[in-house]
Structure 1
Amino acid sequence: MVRFSGATEGGSESRGGTGNVTPVGDWTPPACWYEPRTAQEFSKYMEDMYTETINTPGQHSYAKTAVGQMRDMYKDGKYKNYNLDQADEGTWWVAVRDESRWMEPEAQVCNELPFWLKNGDAPKVPNAVTPQILAELAYNRIKLPTTEVTLAPAEVTKVNLPTWAWLDKTKFTDVSVTAALDVGGVHIQATTTARPVSLKLEPGTADAETYPASGECTINGGTVGEPYAPGKANRTPPCGIKYLRSSGNGTYRLRATVTWQITWTGTGNPNPTRLPDGTFGNDQAVTVQEIQSVNR
């Protein structure tokens, strides 16, 4: 069974939580794949599935019949007792679906019944697990830090006042997940790494300007944007926003999205290889007030 380790549960420190990376473009990680199981693991898998199906109240009779026939084939039919007497000679290969994408059409293409392969033989099915497929599965399990930018002014900004924006470089560093498979004669692994490369700011209103004009702030020396400091008030921020109209009694929803460059290394692939870039972002409230003048 594929095992994952690394930043799958918020391994990158963040304020306010973590979330999954969203691939740029039409690419998505595999929704299903085939992976090996030992004879002992497959035996338990089949017996557990049979017992659960038979004993589930209200289970349809056709489901019980189908599972019973499948169990008979591997236990007393085409195969004998799950090939337990050949456990050192090969492995069972079974279809696995991503639990979060169970009903998607892409998850239904792995429809081959479990099959036996002797050690050293290559499976002749699409989506049989490889180091690259492991890397793509790891991609789908990366947890990225919430994209909450630091603003100056922090609480309330003013109309026509440039607002500086940046990300704390100590909280936005490389994030990696490793996927490994060590079953029978199959020993492969892959590590997928996400590296932040740019920040896109969307002010939440057309009455605003961004710095730079594209709204894309690039990484500079490991920092996204530049922290504000006394003495910089007359400078144009390298990354920021200028609101042209008050938010009134409400707020604007500033959206900050980080683009992450994603690569993988692994068995047979020591040099980082690109996978599609990914993004992750969120909204934060910004209050904009008119600058008050005093008449004498």
Structure 2
Amino acid sequence: MRTRPGPTLAITVALIAASFAFPSVAVATITDNTQYEEDTGAGAQDQEINSQVRFNLSKNGRGKSTGPVTAVGNWTPPACWYEPKYTPKQKEQQYKDLLASPLFSGKKEAVEGMESRFKDGHPYTDFNKKKSGDGMFWTSVQDDTRSMDDHVWDCDEADFWADNGEAPKVANAIDAETLSGLAYGRIRVPDTKITLAPANSTKVNLPTWAWLDKADFHDVSVTASLQVAGWNLSATTTARPVSLRLDPGTADATTYPAGGECALNSDGSIGEPYAQGKAGRTPPCGVTYLRSSGDGVYHLKATVTWEITWEGSNGERGTFPNGTFGTEQDVTVQEVQAVNR
């Protein structure tokens, strides 16, 4: 259970107590060593969290240098959500556990709050036992990987009841789009170490060719699923590379094409490999440095833009803002040495 940081222990304990009566917050903690039950492919993995949601990472980016995409604009994946969690019997046990807990500041208020909301009819009577088997109490979950994000506190609704298969009219309640947003947050894409010719060292005014092979540049995806009584829903979020942007690391450079945005070729590659006989050509993707890097280097940054789409097992589909991920390479630029005779 997570509570807002407070200036004193008493305030923190009181907030914990209040959560029994109001939002019953679970924190999604991540591990990476559980095999995904429904995917027996080699390397299939799942992130097991303190939640009903599971993440299949078997088609995610691999390797030592992968990272999350950064959404273009102000959109971010959900930092918290609501999901079905407690049966009437489990909610009653939560109340009994509270009654049996040692005395702490705010316990009286927490007990009264639970009694009012779940026992005495405001709005649920006797923990809604009359509907046992027909639904569950939904609770808020915070993504522990986003613990420093203020949006983890957006899900502050008290635990509420929903019948099996019913879509609650609450923002961030689990549905196909919310699941796909959670999957977006776990997308990892490979770094963008591009091939350069000349490799990592070039001359002033000499075009440097840059390219990415199709084999190193492919779609990745993550599937998030919710499988509990009355719910069997999943959504797959896919990131597809669409372009590469070159930032030479200095204003004293010319990029190709102008602006440094290299489009994806029809075969899925970017740019064109350098070969003998191309020295007099302008590279379709590359850079010409106009000044020496002196005793240092220029930090060439290659940023790939990824188009993000999603599809739910219920047939729903949509798009999210594009994501970007970039890495830097050091490039030494030397002056052309002329020999005077």
1:124: how far off? 3.2
Deviation at 1:2, TM superposition (A): 1.0
TM-score (norm 1): 0.84
Does residue 291 of the first structure (1) align with residue 341 of the second (2)? no
- Residue matched to 1:226: 272
Report deviation, 1:50.
Answer: 6.1
Q: Note the C-alpha offset of 1:39.
A: 2.3
**1:85-122 Cα distance to aligned partner (Å, 9 max, x none):** 96522212011122233454433231112123232443
Counterpart of 2:293? 247
Match of 1:213, SS? Answer: coil
Contact 2:91–2:127 under 8 Å retained in 1: yes
SS in 2 for 1:91: strand
Q: CA deviation at 1:141?
A: 0.8
SS of the residue aligned with 2:330? Answer: strand
Match of 2:307 among 258, 261, 266: 261
Residue type matched to 1:61 in 2? S
Q: Report the 3-state secondary structure (helix = DSSP H, G, I; strand = E; otherwise coil) of the residue aligned with 1:61.
A: coil
Match of 2:249?
Answer: 204
Establish whether residue 274 from structure 1 lines up as the match of residue 307 from structure 2: no
The 1-side partners of 2:243 and 2:332 are apart by 25
Does the C-alpha gap of structure 1 residues 198 and 139 become closer, same or farther in structure 2, counting only changes over 3 Å?
same
Residue 34 of structure 1 pairs with residue 82 of structure 2:
yes
Partner of 2:57: 6
Instruction: Name the stretch that deviates more: 115-124 or 274-283.
Output: 115-124
Shift, 1:69, TM fit:
5.7
- One-letter amino acid of the structure 2 residue matched with residue 247 of structure 1: S
RMSD: 3.1
- For 2:255, give the aligned amino acid: T
The 1:211/1:81 distance shift into structure 2, 3 A limit, reads same
Under a length normalisation based on structure 2, what TM-score does the superposition of the two structures give?
Answer: 0.74
> Runs in 1 of length 4+ with deviation above 4 angstroms?
40-47, 64-87
1:291 partner letter: V
- Matched residues in 1 for 2:129 and 2:276: separation? 73
Q: Which residue of structure 1 aligns with residue 220 of structure 2?
A: 175
Q: Mind listing any 5+ residue stretches in structure 1 that lack a counterpart?
A: none
- Tell me which residue corresponds to 2:205: 160
In the alignment, does 2:65 pair up with 1:20? no
Unaligned runs of 5+ in 2: 1-51
1:127 corresponds to? 172
292 and 46 in structure 1: CA distance in 2 versus 1, 3 angstrom threshold: farther
**Change in CA separation of 1:256 and 1:83 when aligned onto 2, cut-off 3 Å:** same
Judged with a 3 Å threshold, the aligned counterparts in structure 2 of structure 1 residues 204 and 67 are, in CA distance, closer, same or farther, namely farther
8 Å contact from structure 1 (residues 12, 171) kept in 2? no
2-structure distance, mates of 1:44, 1:162: 72
Residues 42, 92 of structure 1: 8 Å contact kept = no
Q: Relative CO higher for 1 or 2, CA cutoff 8 Å, sep ≥ 6?
A: 1
> Deviations for 1:209-265, whole angstroms, at most 9, x for unmatched residues?
001011000000210111112222221111001001110111111111100011111
Contact in 2 for aligned 1:38/1:87 (Cα 8 Å)? no
Aligned pair count reads 286
| Post-superposition offset of 1:203 | 0.4
Deviates more, 1:163-172 or 1:207-216: 163-172
User: Which residue pairs with 2:28 in the alignment?
Assistant: none
Alpha-carbon shift at residue 125 of structure 1 (Å): 2.0
CA contact (8 A) 1:208 1:245 kept: yes
Task: Classify 1:294/1:143 alpha carbon distance in 2 versus 1 (closer, same or farther; 3 Å).
Answer: same
Shift of 1:83: 6.4
